[in-house]
Amino acid sequence: MRDWGRSRRPSRLGRVRLDKQDQEMDMEMDDAQEQGNDEVLHRRFRHVSFSDNRRHSHVQPQHPANRFIVCNDREKNQIYKGNSVSTTKYNIFTFLPKGLFEQFRRVANLYFLMISILSTTPISPVHPVTNVVPLSLVLCVSLIKEAFEDWKRFNNDIVINGTLVEVIQDGKWIEIPWRKLQVGDLVRVKQDNFFPADLLFLSSTNPDGICYIETANLDGETNLKIRKALEKTWDYIHPNKAAEFKGEIQCEQPNNSLYTFTGNLVMGKQTLPLSPNQILLRGCSLRNTEFIVGAVVFTGHETKVMMNSMNVPSKRSTLERKLDKLILILFGVLFAMCFIGAIGSGFFINRKYFYLGLLGDVENQFNPKNKFVVAALTLFTLVTLYSTIIPISLYVSIEMIKFIQSTQFINKDRRMYHMESNTPALARTSNLNEELGQVEYLFSDKTGTLTRNCMEFFKCSIGGEMYGKGVTEVERAAALRNQLNIHEIGRAADAVHEKGFNFEDARLMAGAWRNEHDPEICKEFFRCLAICHTVLPEGDESPEKITYQAASPDESALVIAAKNFGFFFYRRTPTMIRVRESHVEKIGKVQDVGYEILNVLEFNSTRRCQSVICRYSTGRLVLYCKGADSVIYEKIARGNDAIKKTTREHLEHFGAAGLRTLCLAYRDLSNQLYEEWNEKFIEAKSALSDREKKLGEVADLIEKELILIGCTAIEDKLQEGVPACIETLSKAGIKIWILTGDKMETAINIAYACSLINNQMKQLIISSETKEVREVEDQGDPVETARVIEDTVKRDLERCLDEVDYDTDSRSRLDFALVIDGKCLMYALDPKLRGKLLKLSLMCKAVVCCRVSPLQKAQVTSLIKVGARKITLAIGDGANDVSMIQAAHVGVGISGLEGMQAVMASDFAIAQFRFLTDLLLVHGRWSYIRISKVVAYFFYKNLTFTLTQFWFTFHTGFSGQRFYDDWYQSLYNVIFTALPVIVVGVFDKDVSASLSKRYPQLYQEGIKNMFFKWRVLAVWAFFAVYQSIIFFSFAVGASSKGQNSSGKMLGLWDVGTMAFTCVVITVNMRLMMASTYITKWHNISVAGSILTWFLFIFIYSGIMTRHDRQENIYFVIYVLMSTGYFWLNVLLVPLVALLGDFLFQGIQQRFYPYDYQIIQEKYRNEPDESTQDNETLNDLTPDQERSLAIARLPPQRSRHTGFAFDSPGYESFFALQKGVLPPPKAWDVARRASMKPPKRNLNS
């Protein structure tokens, strides 16, 4: 038996830290959305359970769960799956069929496959190579990319499945590969190694059966977590003892819930309840522990981390969806052209044209006796002839452009590089670059997103007395707003200030609290801060050197405050907390006091409070509780009305100052009451079904009749540059919503402080904190309460709508700000009121939703996304923001202090909120303009090329005669016009980055979709028709008047080659006209494309092979270049063709200019800022340069969930090629697990 009375301080615990409160909120949001539940009863098991394990003999064995495991018995456990995993998408047999299937799911690829098949038939006027070559190039590039990514996954699988782990066999530890591991095996995992499967933690080399793990691959946290084995299994540490372990595990079936586990361990006649504190998940690693012994519970693809490696629904940009419509329109145009040609062919075919040889037996396609067959066959002939109207290289080009935009510009932008945290921006997907340039609604979390998430104890209220003299940023902003002067008292020279503690009030410092009117309540306040928490101390046991690893910054700030008030928490064991108390008996006296921790009633998103039951050395039993004021006030005993009223006033004052508040309370317990309650608590802990619900119900039995102590107020300062950023985004036409769990007063004042709301706005407040609602809530009738709140919300929505309509009719042009709390929002989102809420919110410039749950955040985002069909962006930093981020069109994660869940679920990651200015106004806007221009240009150049063939059809009796050689048609998109459009998509920009931010109104062109309207596409189409007529007209003139050097008329292939030369020159030069920023790469690509055409035709027409169609082109270019007519056409035709575009652009820019053209004209003579815009950091430290290098590595895709084994694993390859070792990525356990552990002594 361990010595429970002796305290042990963990040696070199490292970076021990428990899961954060906000991270655990609603991690099962996807399930909640499917079920329609507003609250997900998802339990937090985030730290060691300090409950007394000595009474488990009272628990009766329960019915076996769905999974029944006999430890150390491989034969009985063979029914379960093995531990081998495969993360590859293909294998050697499925790669080609499955890969091709994936490629032909794209409509364009499927269309060209059909065209290629048609081109092999006799009715095709073109050689199959015309369509097969471009299709093959596109498919080869895509399949090679898929094969490379899958090969990296395969190599990672081999490494992981072959990693060795020690298993107990025949009384000794034997090494076997991970893939041979079975359910029920006892394994030994050594320090710094990964857990090979989901294990039941039995024993460790650390005192009291605890171990420390790193869960970065699950939740992004690099700080350590603590796990504790059951006391009954501590002895199974040595091989001979482990071989004797015959426990039976009854537990739940495999599932993807990372933070829950329900099961029992049956040892003999005892049934011991299991919780997540005894489970070690695959993908985590062991830290600061020599080794542990565990029993395998789930293996392979049944482990929780593998069951989480599912794909998030992929996002497609609005422009890409509109592109699909454009492709369908092109299909319609193609069908119309073919239908016209087919009808014309049916009318044209006639025996009177005797020179066509139609008098005898002819093939069906030209048989005048059956004109319907002629028309039908001609239809299919023309489909293959006009197939180039659909740009096959469009998708590949756009993907390439977006990839370069992400990796070379967004990831490298020094303006979005955070020096303090050494964090660059990261585009985790390139699919949504242009969506960043059209965002109209921005949904933001508050804590950690707008604020720093660096909590400091600032003020407090104890026994109805307020303490603390500081002035918050929110109060300063309010004073400035109201043109008031705040008299701030300077800090005293001896004032204490450390990270987490920014409190100044001499009445409480240095033992002065003993002189207050009620020192006993002060003592309870300080002890509650020092005892009611799950913080772990680290380092030397001195106030100056100790550090605290806490579940959240709030908890750490409260413990630091207790230390500065003279109640220094310095040591923790599973059953004991040691506090060094000063000034308790008399001023200056210090004494070490131990408090036995009997139970910890853990915090979760449902309970919103935390309690600790402890026993003093004197035998006193006390329950200390802290939590949200709305929860604590419901648990307070009757009476104490004066302190309750005063404390509520203080809470409102703190909220108005933008402070985060918690209420503190306590209750003295009798031994009999505690023993009776503890029996129920142990029974609830051992339940196999509804364990979380039962534990919550049991907690409610003891958390009542509390005595209110007071409340704390913690300041979370705004991030740098937030007000300026929000002001700039508002000018850009972006409507910003704050969705927070804070009180209404706090949320409103934060909105004022960050310039979201100002005095010129009219506030529309919909709150459940009304006298009518409070009265009905006091009656305790939930049905009546729901009815009253629903009526109140309906009435308030109608009132606000009338108010907005009146002001609109009066043309007062007021801006409105809507403020609504979570309880009212729940009813406002009901289908009956949703329309009113949507209408009202669209009329408001700013919206603040307070006291909202994570599910409500996602629902509000979806309301605007689906109901208003506006482009939305959600930004957050915690796990409670994941659903909101995934619900929006674009999700942005903040790399903050709340882990990496938000980043892993996001499409883009930045370190600070203020970087949104550059992400949206610069990169988003540029990307939108570039992609819009690229798509429109593709549409134009393919339509131009195809229409020349269409006009030629009228001169060939609709016979389907080719105007161009097959190879011209094949290489037009993939060679002769491919590179310039990519250069424009990468480098083109209308104004510099600094001007984009100086004139944020330019961003509204993207919101209004000014550059991808149907009107814009119609203009491109008009000039495509015009230019195609020019090309054809000159070609017809050449065929009738042109002569070569021998006096012969120019033939079909002479004219076709000359017309194709004009087309290549014209469409490339047209792209230069469309560019607003010309670089050397523009010149090189355009000149290179034209020269490539000439080089090709010189070679192609200079050789001839048998049995092909190439003899038509033999020596054509040499004959043409010997005539002056060719040079006249090459010089004159492009000029005439582009004359219309030139005149149109001149008139448009002179009389109907875009906003950016006005800015261009205004700053045309100023020095070019392009070198500054694309400049990366050259004066960084090696670590900072390394961080930027990491940002250039291939990004993850938007489908990626961020969980283990979902990553392709190729990032490491690129990193090593560049000589860069990437830091640990939370979402890539495959890469981390592939790192070979250091050699150790494996002897028993």
CA atoms of 1145 and 768, how far apart (whole Å): 57
Element (H, E) at 922: none
| Active-site position among 22, 26, 52, 445 | 445
Tokens at 419, concatenated? 């020096």
Within 10 angstroms of residue 967's Cβ, the number of other Cβ atoms is 19
Inter-residue contact 1204 to 309 (CB < 8 Å): yes
User: How far is CA 759 from each of CA 482, 752, 805, rounded to the nearest angstrom?
Assistant: 8, 9, 20
Can you name the residues that pair with 418 across neighbouring β-strands? 423
CA atoms of 452 and 446, how far apart (whole Å): 9
Taking each helix axis as running N to C, give the angle between helix 107-118 and helix 371-385, from 0 to 180 degrees, rounded to the nearest 10. 130
- DSSP characters for 840-884? HHHH-SEEEEES--HHHHHHHHHIIIIII---EEEEESSGGGHHH
CA-closest candidate to residue 255, choices 297, 285, 294, 225: 297
CA atoms of 298 and 185, how far apart (whole Å): 11
CA atoms of 1102 and 1087, how far apart (whole Å): 22
* Annotation says 30 is catalytic: no
DSSP type of residue 710: E
CA-closest candidate to residue 1028, choices 1066, 971, 977: 1066
User: How far is CA 940 from each of CA 216, 492, 650, 934, rounded to the nearest angstrom?
Assistant: 49, 72, 67, 10
Inter-residue contact 873 to 739 (CB < 8 Å): no
Q: Name the phi and psi angles at 6, rounded to 5.
A: -90, 130
User: How far is CA 806 from each of CA 610, 820, 1133, rounded to the nearest angstrom?
Assistant: 48, 21, 61
CA-closest candidate to residue 710, choices 936, 467, 489, 924: 467
Can you name the residues that pair with 600 across neighbouring β-strands? 612
Helices (H), 119-196: 129-162
SS3 of residue 507 by DSSP: coil
Element (H, E) at 1025: helix 1014-1041
The residue whose two tokens read 């491919």 is: 978
CA atoms of 180 and 1238, how far apart (whole Å): 22
CA atoms of 342 and 21, how far apart (whole Å): 70
* Pairing, β 547-549 against β 567-573: unpaired
Which regions of 268-381 does DSSP assign to beta strands (E)? 270-274, 279-280, 285-287, 291-298
Rg (CA), the chain: 36
Amino acid in position 775:
E
Contacts of 777 (CB under 8 A, 6+ apart): 785
Contacts of 1105 (CB under 8 A, 6+ apart): none
Tokens at 1216, concatenated? 């090593």
CA-closest candidate to residue 1086, choices 978, 971, 940: 978
- Report angle CA 59, 65, 71 to the nearest 5 degrees: 85
The residue whose two tokens read 């042990």 is: 8
CA 788 to chain centre: 38
User: How far is CA 897 from each of CA 34, 893, 909, 1228, rounded to the nearest angstrom?
Assistant: 30, 12, 14, 20
CA atoms of 770 and 791, how far apart (whole Å): 13
- Name the residues annotated as catalytic: 445
